[in-house]
Structure 1
Amino acid sequence: MPDKADTVPVTILMAVYNGQAYLPAQLDSIAAQDHDNWHLLISDDGSTDDSRRIAGAFARKTARATVLSGPGQGGTANFMQLIRSMAAHAPPDSGLAFSDQDDVWLPEKLSRAVTMLAPHHATPALYCSRSFITDEALRSRRLSAPRPHPPGFENALVQNIASGNTIVLNPAASALIRRAAATTPEPVVHDWWVYQLITGAGGVVVHDDRPGLLYRQHGVNQIGANDTTRARAKRIAMLLRGDFRQWNEINIAALRATAGMLTDRNRATLEAFAALRQQGVLGRLAALRRLRLYRQSLPGTAALWLSAVLGRL
């Protein structure tokens, strides 16, 4: 008799744009997953290279992939449209996974995620993991940053620890996200919004300290890894110059669109966070302390407090 986890269908959402250099390796790694109950939705966002042909050839060969056309508005819009497209292309009891076009998944990525999510079948649950960060040729492997503090809404409001290329949602979380996407304005990035909504709704986050994929770094990564001193300094500089405040404005609007899905406590936390951004410096600091918002590293938390002092929250 097959393991119960093996019967859970997973719909993989892959946003593609000019990915011909690395797309074949990623598609091959998905085909090699030891969790065999998957279907891949590939949304090509108007590629001018050979990506569409590569995706189409894979779909014809496997009969387990569907190629769609993206909105032509960038990666976040493409992933949000993919979520909305699940109504027509995925069973209602399907889990959900996100895939980048340029990674390589380890064979057990999906099976480990589904197994770790299995105890939470009645509750919306999100799996995420660490990665092996590599160079363009998949060499020089190093582990992505650990997550020393537990995930939660107080973290999700001010930091994303759920890298989209590692996320797998159980069917309950998938259903929640699909309902929310129908009325949500475009967030900053899809994975951060998913982390915020799942934790905000009282769901579970399962973080796996073992890596599930090779995260390829190259010259045109849309976001890229955040595990070097230079990369962290760049992110903190973005936070302090005002990008963080703009991101928060967008994320608050997205969460308010589905506020009825949040727990009473987290809805109150969201509104208190929105309100503190309009207060004077002493009010901002007092509210930040009261809400107990946090980031995963000491420098990140220090930058969070500094942004509150400077009015960049």
Structure 2
Amino acid sequence: MKDNSAPLVEVVLSSYDGAAWLDAQISSILGQTHGALRLSVRDDGSRDGTPDVLAAWAAREPRFSFRLGSRNLGPSGSFFRLLDGVGAEAAFAAFADQDDVWEADKIARAVAALSALPEGMPGLYCARVVIVDEDLQRRGLSPLPGRGPSLANALIENIAIGCTSVLNRAALDLLRAEWPAEPAKHDWWAYQVISALGQVIYDPRPALKYRQHGGNMTGAGYTPLDRFLGKVGRQLNGEQSALRRHQARELLRLFGSRLSVRDRTLVEDFLDSTHGLTDRLRYAVCGGVHRQHWLDNLAYRLLYVIRGV
């Protein structure tokens, strides 16, 4: 039952060929202990039975609404569109993936943490996850960030898993004043901006079951070795390097005048560090950015010297 005294949370979910998973996920979202909640879904061009699943939920659940996208935007573009549609009465906005299962108190914990921030401070809550297989059998936990959230980390790594992330109103208004040019990752972009201009809260207690299957966009990996090899592989293909630099340039373009002198220098040094082998070596040793775990950090710095990634 909806608690009219509680702040409204609008959960936004982008669906795509998710008919096999949606019922369990929607049930877990609408079953949250924080009752002042509504779920808004944008379908990004599904070719399976997803629209039928969504229509069935809309017919019986007043807190649920959906729309069919006129074109396929990809996950980040779809989520940016969803955030643009969050109503003025919502105090918080939460990302949701289509194939997870949330802990019942996920939203309540996020609201409590974000409500403790000073009034008007942009805040982003994110959390650890339990990694499960297609049948929701536990396979492991996502790694804890050993060094905590920061812009120095956000420039090269995302610890704010999108499906765990909740934004307060100040963060939502800050982000949607102007979206970054493509390509950008919605959750990584939010982590980067809010770590620079607000407060990121990382909850070490898992918030949901993160389902791994063949249709995932980016897998978390069942073991530390899986995750490490996946990160190295993504580094070697060059896509991560290009994305990091694009997002850093967009951060300067959209928010450079609002960054502290220290943070602006951090971003500028990061963007100026690839002119030659000597510059890369110097930056790998002395640069201000870092990953959360020592082995990831070492691998990043070695690959940076060799390939500028």
Question: Do they superpose with TM above 0.5?
Answer: yes
Aligned residue for 2:199?
Answer: 204
Give me the whole-angstrom Cα distance separating, in 2, the residues matched to 1:248 and 1:85: 27
What is the alpha-carbon distance in structure 1 between the residues aligned to residue 258 and residue 299 of structure 2? Answer: 30
**d(CA) in 1 for partners of 2:138, 2:66:** 33
Q: Deviations over 1:282-309 (max 9, x none)?
A: 2223334444211011121012211221
Aligned length: 304
Q: Secondary structure at the match of 1:207?
A: strand
Question: Any conservation in 1 of the 2:10–2:90 contact (CA below 8 Å)?
Answer: no
Task: Tell me, in whole angstroms, the C-alpha distance in 2 between the residues paired with 1:47 and 1:305.
Answer: 40
The one-letter amino acid paired with 2:131 is I
Contact 2:11 2:38 in 1 (8 A): yes
Among 122, 126, 143, the residue aligned to 2:141: 143
CA–CA distance in structure 1, aligned partners of residues 82 and 3 of structure 2: 29
Cα separation, partners in 2 of 1:97 and 1:233, compared to 1, 3 Å? same
Are 1:44 and 2:39 matched, yes or no? Answer: no
For 1:147, what is the secondary structure of its paired residue? coil
Q: Structure 2: where are the runs of 5+ without partners?
A: none
- Structure 2 CA distance for aligned equivalents of residues 296 and 227 of structure 1: 18
CA–CA distance in 2 between the matches of 1:91 and 1:299? 44
TM alignment of 1:184-199, pairs within 5 A:
184-199=180-195
CA contact (8 A) 2:123 2:194 kept: yes
2:60 counterpart residue number:
61
- Counterpart of 1:113, as a letter, is A
Deviations 1:135-164 (A, max 9, x none): 111013422111111210000001000000
Q: Distance in 2 between matches of 1:261 and 1:84?
A: 22
AA in 1 matched with 2:9: V
- For residues 124 and 236 of structure 1, do their structure 2 counterparts lie closer, same or farther at Cα, with a shift above 3 Å needed? same
Residue pair 2:221, 2:227 contacting (<8 A) in 1 also = yes
Q: Which moved more, 1:250-259 or 1:130-139?
A: 250-259
What is the TM-score of this pair, normalised by structure 1?
A: 0.91
The 3-state SS of whatever aligns with 2:66 is: strand
Deviation at 1:188, TM superposition (A): 3.1
Of 86, 111, 114, the residue aligned with 2:111 is 114
1:180 deviates by 3.3
Contact 2:129–2:208 (CA under 8 A) maintained in structure 1: yes
1:173 matches 2:167: no
**In 2: Cα distance, 1:265 partner to 1:85 partner:** 34
The answer as to whether partners of 1:200 and 1:262 remain within 8 angstroms in 2 is yes
Paired letter, 2:125: Y
Structural mapping, 1:56-95, within 5 Å: 56-70=55-69, 71-86=71-86, 90-91=87-88, 93-95=90-92
8 Å CA contact 1:154–1:291 kept in 2: the answer is no
SS of 1:175's partner is helix
Q: How does 1:95-134 map to 2 (within 5 A)?
A: 95-122=92-119, 123-134=121-132
- Could you say what secondary structure the match of 1:258 adopts? helix
Q: 1:306 and 2:302 equivalent?
A: yes
1:155 partner amino acid: N
Number of the residue aligned with 1:250: 246
Identity of aligned residues (%): 35
Q: Residue 40 of structure 2: SS of its match in structure 1?
A: strand
Task: Give distance in 1, aligned partners of 2:148 and 2:3.
Answer: 29
Shift of 1:212: 0.7
Structure 2 residue 266 is matched with structure 1 residue 262: no
Task: Assess if the C-alpha contact under 8 Å between 2:130 and 2:138 holds in 1.
Answer: no
Q: Match of 2:65, as an amino acid? A: T
Provide structure 1 residue ranges, at least 5 long, that are not aligned to the other structure: none
Spell out the pairing of 1:154-169 with structure 2 (5 A cutoff): 154-169=152-167
Aligned: 1:216 with 2:227: no
CA contact (8 A) 1:121 1:172 kept: no
Match of 1:23 in 2: 22
Cα distance in 1, alignment partners of residues 263 and 229 from structure 2: 30
Change in Cα spacing, 1:38 to 1:264, as seen in structure 2 (3 Å) is farther
Structure 2 letter corresponding to 1:251: Q
Q: CA shift at 1:170, angstroms? A: 1.5
CA gap 1:227/1:159 in 2 versus in 1, 3 angstroms: farther
Q: Deviations over 1:40-85 (max 9, x none)?
A: 1101011111111211221232211221233403112111211222
CA root-mean-square deviation? 2.1
Determine helix, strand or coil for the equivalent of 1:128.
Answer: strand
- Give a deviation string over 1:256-313, Cα, whole Å, max 9, x none: 3312343333222212211112x22222233344442110111210122112212332
Assess if the C-alpha contact under 8 Å between 1:19 and 1:51 holds in 2: yes
Is residue 197–residue 262 contact of structure 1 (8 Å, CA) maintained in 2?
no
